[in-house]
Amino acid sequence: MNKTSCLGLAALLAATLLPAVAAAQEGTGAGKRPNFVLLLIDDAAYSDLGAYGGEARTPNIDRLAAQGAVFTQYHSSPLCSPSRAMLLTGVDNHRTGFATIPETLPVEQQGRPGYRMRFEPGVETVATRLKAAGYRSYMTGKWHLGHGPGELPDALGFDRSFVLDASGADNWEQKPYMPYYTSADWFEDGKPATLPKDFYSSEFLVDQMIRYLEKDRARREPFLAYIAFQAVHIPVQAPREFTANYDGVYDGGWGQMREARWRRAQERGLIPQGAPLAPVHEKLRSWESLDAEERALYARSMQVHAGMLEAMDHHIGRLVDYLKAQGQFENTVFLITSDNGPEPSNPVAQAGFRTWMSRNGYTHELGNLGEKGSMCFIGPEWANATASPGNLFKFHSSEGGMRVPLIAAGPGIAPGRRLVGTSFVTDVTPTIYDYAGIDRARWNGPVPMSGRSLKPALSGAVPRVYAADEPVGMEVGGNAALFKGDYKLTKISLPWGDAKWRLYNLATDPGEVQDLSEKEPERYRAMLADYAAYEQEAGVLRLPDDFNPHKQVKINAIKKQLHHYRFVLGGAAIVLASLLLMWLRRRILRAGA
């Protein structure tokens, strides 16, 4: 080959390869692009983790918190699928296609834009966008953002994934946790998968993530590792050795723990000194009203809850150790949060649930509570207590349902910071883009993001990323909120609310005790107008004030069961009809004789 030909070939290769290399190295600048480890806890309350004053031993998470920043006014949505969709896209939940969760979706909203329970066209995940910038992406854990081909992580940017597509499942075995499901469907890279015999959710999810990272250890591209834990979703389950660490800790009951967490939140600077604690809701029982047997069972339930958090933290520590051994830890940004506030449900109290439990190998007994074959939950009273200093819990737009922990640590994040500015679940994805060095012009796809990068606050450049006069709305299943500076306008649905709008100053009243709607009528009306504008822009389909998401779950569960067992029920109906016809025929023959 002559010199001219060589030069021509070199030019052709350069023209072909340089754009791809530039895309892969986009935003590297003079430094090395960081890895990202995104750890999502399921149903963790604001004050559950040790760094936020909880009783559970979470030393690995606490060390990351000490090395980085703790957010004091970070808000997610009050339900899991909307939160997860916003977390992974930076887009408002109605625009993602997950305005609510399938389990609470009323028939009036089914199939409508924003309510299709799958990602809408043009909505891109953080994994898709990072891949275009030269990252590799992995996920293990709960997905709950679509079912089947084209709707699982393998089709949405993740190179490797091992996921549960349902709202939850057993932590010890591959089986469902509620009658809404007939099975626990896990998928690896989009194909049906089977869990190992020695499965425990937190351990397996970390093991699988390490396997993916280890297999690709020779690859030089930075990575996103997203682990969506089952802890501490129902069924609350943990190995006995972790649960045993909390013997006696919760024997004083939920009222005592709620006040203790409220005091610790003040001591740690998470809320202002003297911030009021909300009165206990009239529907919640007092600890003293329980008999000795009930107290023992509920105290043990909370022990399992703490044990499950500790077990999760223990396995997070193994991931941290792996990254340190591989020389990756110092160049990794960790983001740790929860999808919503604590779960208040008491499934065992629902009609027919104990029968379903017996058919599916579950018990609710003190002796093996939280272990294999056990159905454990903490119920509304403990849920309200774990959300302290907030009020109420998951499903609702109170602070107990929306204010959750967020910890950020890694390169470029100053240690020991308390970030008090209001922030949201939609801010996580743009923050990742900012740290990855992706050009801001490429942040938005066909569907624009709603969130902001938190990097300026994490670096100390600004105290908050949202201006005091900037409204941010959120709505899930009739529960709604509008944030503007330190103020929050909120409407809480049945059965724990009355669907009336109230106004609070979260800077002084994180427990939402003092309604300011009458004291500040101009602000109240202005924020109502802001919410109406958000509702229209986001495509919110308004629900009637008497909508009850808890009742809707029961209705949808019954419909699901009728669908699951339609052939059995149809066969039974045919048999009964045949028997009835035979009986009628005999009566007629006897009458004729």
pLDDT digits (tens, 9 = 90+) for 544-566: 999 988 788 778 767 665 655 55
95 and 206 assigned to the same domain: yes
Q: Is the pLDDT of residue 534 over 90?
A: yes
Q: Which long-range CB contacts under 8 A does 150-155 form with residues at least 24 apart?
A: 151/118, 151/119, 152/187, 152/190, 153/127, 153/190, 154/187, 154/189, 154/190, 155/190
In a domain, 25, yes or no: no
Choose the final residue of a domain: 511, 538, 565. 538
User: Residues 285-332: pLDDT tens digits?
Assistant: 999 999 999 999 999 999 999 999 999 999 999 999 999 999 999 999
144 and 199 assigned to the same domain: yes
User: Residues 231-282: pLDDT tens digits?
Assistant: 999 999 999 999 999 999 999 999 999 999 999 999 999 999 999 999 999 9
565 and 431 assigned to the same domain: no
Give how many domains the chain has, as a whole number. Answer: 2
For the residues 111-123, what does the mean pLDDT come to? 95
Q: Which residues have a Cβ under 8 Å from the Cβ of 375 and sit 6 or more positions away? A: 177, 234, 235, 347, 348, 357, 362, 363, 364
In a domain, 544, yes or no: no
392 burial type by CB count under 10 A (0-12 exposed, 13-18 middle, 19+ buried): buried
Query: Is the distance from CB of 399 to CB of 510 less than 8 angstroms?
Result: yes
pLDDT number for residue 103: 85
Residue 136: which pLDDT band, with cuts at 50, 70 and 90? very high
pLDDT number for residue 22: 39
Phi, psi of 474 (to 5 degrees): -155, 145
For the residues 462-476, what does the mean pLDDT come to? 95
Choose the final residue of a domain: 492, 511, 538. 538
In a domain, 364, yes or no: yes
pLDDT number for residue 7: 37
255 and 363 assigned to the same domain: yes
In a domain, 28, yes or no: no
150 and 94 assigned to the same domain: yes
For the residues 355-381, what does the mean pLDDT come to? 97
Query: Is the distance from CB of 127 to CB of 146 less than 8 angstroms?
Result: no
522 and 561 assigned to the same domain: no
Residue 25: which pLDDT band, with cuts at 50, 70 and 90? very low
For the residues 189-203, what does the mean pLDDT come to? 97
Choose the final residue of a domain: 538, 562, 581. 538
d(CA 478, CA 494): 9
User: Residues 45-95: pLDDT tens digits?
Assistant: 999 999 999 999 999 999 999 999 999 999 999 999 999 999 999 999 999
In a domain, 369, yes or no: yes
pTM: 0.90
Query: Is the distance from CB of 23 to CB of 134 less than 8 angstroms?
Result: yes
578 and 484 assigned to the same domain: no
In a domain, 275, yes or no: yes
Residue 16: which pLDDT band, with cuts at 50, 70 and 90? very low
562 and 452 assigned to the same domain: no
Q: Which residues have a Cβ under 8 Å from the Cβ of 201 and sit 6 or more positions away? A: 171, 229, 230, 231, 237
109 and 73 assigned to the same domain: yes
In a domain, 545, yes or no: no
377 and 498 assigned to the same domain: yes
pLDDT number for residue 555: 81
Tell me the DSSP string of 354-407: HHHHHHTT-B--STTTTSTTB----HHHHHHHHTTTS-S-TTSSSHHHHB--EE
In a domain, 561, yes or no: yes
pLDDT number for residue 20: 39
Residue 1: which pLDDT band, with cuts at 50, 70 and 90? very low
Domain extent, residue 228, equals 41-464+472-538
572 and 522 assigned to the same domain: no
- Amino acid in the structure at residue 17: L
Q: Is the pLDDT of residue 26 over 80?
A: no
Q: Is the pLDDT of residue 140 over 80?
A: yes
Q: Which residue has the higher pLDDT, 71 or 13?
A: 71
Which residue of the set 75, 94, 144, 396 is catalytic? 144
Q: With pLDDT > 90 as the criterion, what percentage of the chain qualifies? A: 83
204 and 117 assigned to the same domain: yes
For the residues 27-46, what does the mean pLDDT come to? 84
80 assigned to active site: yes
